[in-house]
């Protein structure tokens, strides 16, 4: 049975054949191959099965965390142990399918479990026993996590939820790594420096651009790209509010303009995922701005205006939204 992606491709091929864009006999060949399941492989795992395997991986990661934490290790030692175990699991998830014929489900379980374990080590480090202990573990784990989460998506060949989870955790790991490079207590939000926020913004923007333009054929790309675009909200808000001390209304306007620019670029590139992600941020920002600036009355007006604008974009740029 053909996957949903295969069926969409076959429908497109039939449309192209009607327009005379395919060579004689090409459509019949494609239909035969799809009927025989020739295009199916590790990438053809359905969304429901993928979600269940990812949930299974999260539970495996949670089990590993439990085993490590009930061994009466100090929290700093537990976090130091979870981080390499997470990297090891993710490495197995990437390497084993290349060495042994395994279903994608096993790969997904290992990848997600590795992300969960490494993320737990990253989160546990600042809560390690004693202030000094936190800065024994965090300088080791944060750079390790940032590199692992930054590289992981580009090593995954099949459809997977792990790259999207890795992108979200990369945002946190890179922030902590840059904070540690600044000063001893820089991970406290109230003491962030402008250069740190700019660096974090640049790192996350670089990750988004890498996925946008460097992973065009990756089956995991859409969700991971959307996550990388939404992740830009945090450093931008911190930069505008904490470092530049803009009033909340002005900061919200800048956020809307910034993501409006991303939306325009996505429409030009016909990048549906970025269109949807940036529109989501703009809608949320408009809600906050409307009620923050003028109360319920202005809030309702802004909501209706943004809704109308999004509908107009959907109607005007329907071909772009139908593209990848």
CA gap 14, 6 in Å, rounded: 12
Tell me if the pTM is above 0.85.
no
> Going residue by residue through the chain (324 aa), what tens digit of pLDDT does each one get?
445 556 667 777 777 777 676 666 677 776 666 554 444 444 455 667 788 888 988 999 888 888 887 775 566 577 678 888 899 999 888 887 777 666 667 888 899 999 999 998 888 776 554 445 556 677 888 888 999 999 999 988 777 889 999 999 999 999 888 877 765 444 444 445 567 888 889 999 999 999 999 888 888 888 899 999 999 998 888 888 766 666 777 888 888 899 999 988 988 888 888 988 998 898 888 878 777 766 666 667 777 777 777 777 777 666 655 544
Secondary structure, 3-state, the chain: CCCHHHHHHHHHHHHHHHCCCCCCCHHHHHHHHHHCCCCCCHHHCCHHHHHHHHHHHHHHHHHHHHHHHCCCCCHHHHHHHHHHHHHHHHHHHHHHHHHCCCCHHHHHHHHHHHHHHHHHHHHHHHHCCCHHHHHHHHHHHHHHHHHHHHHHHHHCCCCCCHHHHHHHHHHHHHHHHHHHHHCCCCCCHHHCCHHHHHHHHHHHHHHHHHHHHHCCCCCCHHHHHHHHHHCCHHHHHHHHHHHCCCCHHHHHHHHHHHHHHHHHHHHHHCCHHHHHHHHHHHHHHHHHHHHHHHHHHHHHHHHHHHHHHHHHHHHHCHHHHHCC
Q: Report pLDDT for 37.
A: 47
Residues in Cβ contact with 321 at an 8 Å cutoff, skipping those fewer than 6 apart = 272, 275, 314
Q: How far is CA 5 from CA 8, 13, 71, 98, 293, in A?
A: 5, 12, 46, 23, 44
Residue 321 is predicted with a pLDDT of 58
């Amino acid at each position: 049975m053909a996957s949903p992606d295969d069926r969409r491709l076959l429908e497109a091929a039939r449309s192209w054949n009607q327009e005379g864009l395919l060579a004689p006999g090409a459509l019949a060949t494609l239909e035969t191959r799809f009927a025989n399941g020739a295009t199916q492989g590790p990438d053809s795992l359905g969304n429901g099965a993928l979600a269940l395997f990812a949930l299974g991986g999260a539970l495996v990661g949670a089990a590993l965390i439990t085993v490590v934490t009930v061994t009466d290790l100090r929290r700093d030692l537990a976090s130091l142990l979870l981080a390499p175990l997470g990297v090891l699991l993710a490495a197995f998830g990437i390497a084993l399918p290349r060495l042994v014929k395994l279903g994608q489900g096993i790969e997904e379980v290992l990848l997600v479990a590795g992300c969960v374990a490494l993320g737990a080590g990253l989160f546990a480090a600042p809560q390690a026993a004693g202030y000094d202990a936190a800065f024994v573990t965090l300088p080791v784990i944060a750079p390790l996590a940032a590199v692992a989460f930054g590289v992981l998506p580009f090593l995954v060949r099949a459809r997977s939820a792990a790259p999207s989870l890795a992108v979200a955790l990369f945002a946190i790991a890179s922030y902590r790594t840059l904070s540690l490079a600044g000063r001893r207590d820089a991970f406290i939000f109230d003491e962030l420096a402008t250069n740190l926020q700019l660096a974090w913004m640049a790192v996350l923007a670089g990750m988004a651009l890498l996925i946008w333009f460097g992973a065009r054929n990756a089956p995991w790309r859409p969700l991971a790209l959307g996550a990388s675009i939404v992740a830009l909200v945090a450093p931008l808000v911190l930069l505008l509010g904490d470092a530049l001390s803009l009033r909340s209304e002005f900061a919200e306007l800048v956020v809307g303009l910034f993501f409006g620019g991303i939306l325009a670029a996505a429409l030009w590139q016909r990048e549906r995922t970025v269109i949807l992600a940036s529109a989501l941020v703009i809608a949320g920002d408009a809600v906050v701005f409307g009620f923050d600036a003028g109360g319920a009355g202005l809030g309702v007006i802004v909501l209706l205006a943004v809704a109308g604008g999004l509908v107009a974009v959907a109607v005007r740029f329907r071909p772009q939204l139908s593209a990848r």
